[in-house]
Every structure is written in structure tokens, then in C-alpha cells.
Amino acid sequence: MKAIKDSAAGVVIAIDGPAGAGKSTVARMLADKLQFDFLDTGALYRCVTLAVLQAGIDPRDEAAVVALADGLHIELDRESVRLDGHDVGAAIRTPEVATSIGAIADNIEIRQRLTQWQRSWTRGRRVVTEGRDQGSEVFYDSPCKIFLVATREERARRRLQELQQRGIAADYETVLRQQNQRDHEDASRPVGGLRKAQDAIEVCTTGLSLDAVVDKLLKLVRQRLAKCAELGTQQ
Ligand code: DC
């Protein structure tokens, strides 16, 4: 298990799943408990989308998007997301960004660049990452992959609650419809689409509290890492 022989330098715990399965909150909490860094890969796609919108470029103009993206400077850490030196933590979470992000996520050259960005960022670190393609593509050699799911209805209820807490008016039926559309886009993307890696552990979060999910993941991660360390020492 080569990945673990390298573990003195770095380990990536890869968490994937559909929107609303609880990935982001759970991955952050898990990273805190393990004292690992945290990487929100959706924020990268959101930064590129924001920059494209700010530049007035058509998100479907692949070449123009790539040319712009090549000049961008994105910095992520536990507390902030910075695009060319500006804090864009709130600006990347607007409905305008959400509406245009599909074209950016479909852009294969953008995916290649962001994949490289993610691999460089994690090199030598102990990191919990979350996204759609972490276990299946970006960190296919991760010793610990988790695929987080929840029923469509539960995910839509959580999303509705989140919007209401942010003071945004929304109704359940609309949220569910948008979610179905996003699930379809995420699953049908030929490169970087949402896919469960063969060796990923599926965890269903329906009906579980955040603490219960994190405890469950913590156990699974510790078991996997211990197992891999054991195999590593046997080689
Ligand atoms: O996780 P999120 O909602 O912030 O992600 C926003 C969009 O970015 C999502 O609809 C698909 C895309 N994305 C992706 O294609 N690959 C990733 N690793 C993360 C996000």
C-alpha cells in the first residue's frame, strides 16, 4: 500500500456524495477531530465561476474560461476563500454562481487544472477533502474513501432549512426540483461526475444527527488507517 508508506508525509481522506448529504459540515468536523486540514473542492469551482461572471464571460465559452482561470490566484484555508487576494466566502455562494457552475464543472480543461491544484495543495499534508470526484478521480489512491448519501427528501428538507436560516424565501417543492436537476447534472458529467469509488465506504446520514455521523466516520477512518498502517509495515 504505497499511499500509506508515504503517510509520514501525507494522507487524504476523500469524501464524496450528492449535494445536501451533509458532506461539508461533516468533513469539517471530522478534520477538526482528526486535527487534519480541510479542503472544500466545491469552493474552487465556485471561485472560477465567480471570476467568469465578474469578467462578463459566457460560462459556456470553454477557451475564454480556461484563459481567465489560468490567471487566477485562489487561496483556501480553514476559515477563508480568497480569489486574487479578496475574501469571496459569501460571494461564491450566491444563486447566480449556482446557476452558472454546471458549465464550469463540465469544462474538462478546468477540471484538469483544478485536479492539479488539489493534488498540489494536499501534497505532504494530512487532509479531509470533500467534493464529487475525490475518491473516484482526484485521490483515487486514497486509503480512505467515504461516500455520503441521504434520501432525496431529507436532503431537500436540510437545504430548505439552511436557506430559511439564511433568510432566503424558498419552498420545499422548488428546492426538491432544483436538487433533482443538480443530481442529474452531477451524475451525468462524463469527467468528474459523481461516482462512488469501488473501495469507498457508503454511509447514509438520513435520520442521524451530525455528531452521530461524525462519530461513525471517525471510527471508520481510524479502522482504515490502522489497517493500512499494518499492511504498510508488513511490506
Ligand atoms: O459542493 P458544492 O455544492 O460547493 O459544489 C458546487 C458545484 O461544483 C457542484 O454542483 C459540482 C461542482 N463540483 C465538482 O464538479 N467537483 C467537485 N470536486 C466539487 C464540486
pLDDT value at position 233?
63
Q: Is residue 231 part of a domain?
A: no
Count of domains for the chain: 1
* Ligand 1 centre distance from Cα of residue 43 (Å): 7
Tens digits of per-residue pLDDT, 185-212? 888 988 888 999 999 999 999 999 999 9
Q: Is residue 17 part of a domain?
A: yes
Q: Is residue 234 part of a domain?
A: no
| Ligand 1 contacts CB of residue 81 (under 6 A) | no
| Ligand 1 contacts CB of residue 100 (under 6 A) | no
Domain that holds residue 113: 11-218
Tens digits of per-residue pLDDT, 36-45? 999 999 999 9
Average pLDDT, rounded, for the chain: 91
Tens digits of per-residue pLDDT, 2-43? 333 344 468 999 999 998 888 999 999 999 999 999 999 999
Q: Is residue 142 part of a domain?
A: yes
Tens digits of per-residue pLDDT, 100-137? 999 999 999 999 999 999 999 999 999 999 999 999 99
The amino acid at 224: R
Q: What is the dihedral of CA 187, 59, 75, 54, to 10 degrees?
A: -140
Residues pairing with 16 in the sheet: 131, 147
- Residue 200: closest CA among 135, 152, 138: 135
Q: Is residue 228 part of a domain?
A: no
DSSP assignment letter at 7: G
Under 8 Å between Cβ of 72 and 84:
yes
Given a cut of 50, is residue 169 above it in pLDDT? yes
Residue 118 CA, closest ligand 1 atom number: 18
Q: Is residue 127 part of a domain?
A: yes
* Ligand 1 centre distance from Cα of residue 73 (Å): 19
Q: Provide the pairing of β-strand 201-204 with 144-149.
A: parallel
For residue 60, what is the domain's CATH number? 3.40.50.300
Q: Is residue 121 part of a domain?
A: yes
DSSP assignment letter at 132: S
pLDDT value at position 2?
32
pLDDT value at position 6?
41
Q: Is residue 232 part of a domain?
A: no
